[in-house]
Structure 1
Amino acid sequence: MATGKRKTTRRKARSTSRGGRWLWVLLVVLLLAAVAYAFWGETLRGYGRAGTAYGARVACSCRYVEGRTLADCKKDKLAGMELVFLSDDDTEKSVTATFPLVASDTARLRDGYGCVLDPWKH
């Protein structure tokens, strides 16, 4: 029975070192993400803002001016806009485009003007 206890102790030690290894890997990944954000964060926010503004306005026109479904309008997204997600609100006649954790814009149908973006908040 003494040998069984030794094997159990070794297994516990081995699994603890694996958990510690994953923690270090996670910390390194987070550090690299923070450094990348420091260098390219402003550019990413700019692309996100332009992508969501464009996506909201075009999808709103597709949905409420042309009368197509939002699912059909999503087919019209340009290459490179895979991270821009669209959602619509039938009561408000608006479409919101979101680039997760970066930007979000909403366009609404206005009589006589078509689809217009909501004012940006700084």
Structure 2
Amino acid sequence: MPVRRKWWMGGGALLLLVLLGLLAWQWTTISARARLGSAYGARLGCSCRYVEGRAMGSCNDDKEPGMAMVRLTDLPEERAVQASVPLLASRTARFKPGWGCLLDPVE
């Protein structure tokens, strides 16, 4: 194997280890932000859809900057909205007449 190729493979492995270390170091923060973003998104989407009566497509415009990874899913048969950050967190808010939108308890 040429020396140049070994250097690139070693550098790539080192970079991967550094990135994995940074991910492990920041995991608590990343996980907490994902949980918070999904909970906020579920309440926001549910209120938009079932309190205000707007179309689900317009509810995405209400998300705050930095919430691009939060996905909103309408569950019309349950009068609920599920918000998720892929692979990290998911929360559901349901419309309850007289109360508005309430988050499901954390499992």
TM-score in same-fold range (> 0.5): yes
Question: Deviation string for 1:36-67 (max 9, x for gaps)?
Answer: 22110000111111111011001100001111
Percent same amino acid at aligned positions? 43
Larger Rg: 1
Q: Work out the CA distance in 1 between the residues paired with 2:43 and 2:52.
A: 13
Instruction: Give ranges in structure 2 of 5+ residues lacking alignment.
Output: none
After the TM superposition, which parts of structure 1 deviate over 4 Å for at least 4 consecutive aligned residues?
A: 27-30
Shift of 1:32: 3.4
Question: Deviation string for 1:14-54 (max 9, x for gaps)?
Answer: 9xx6xxx67x74x5554334212211000011111111101
- Which one is further off, 51-60 or 31-40? 31-40
Instruction: Give ranges in structure 1 of 5+ residues lacking alignment.
Output: 1-12
Q: Work out the CA distance in 2 between the residues paired with 1:28 and 1:97.
A: 36
Q: TM-score, normalised by structure 1?
A: 0.75
Alignment coverage as a number of residue pairs: 105
Question: Deviation string for 1:69-102 (max 9, x for gaps)?
Answer: 1110100100010111111111001111111111
Q: TM-score, normalised by structure 2?
A: 0.84
Residue 110 of structure 1 pairs with residue 96 of structure 2: yes
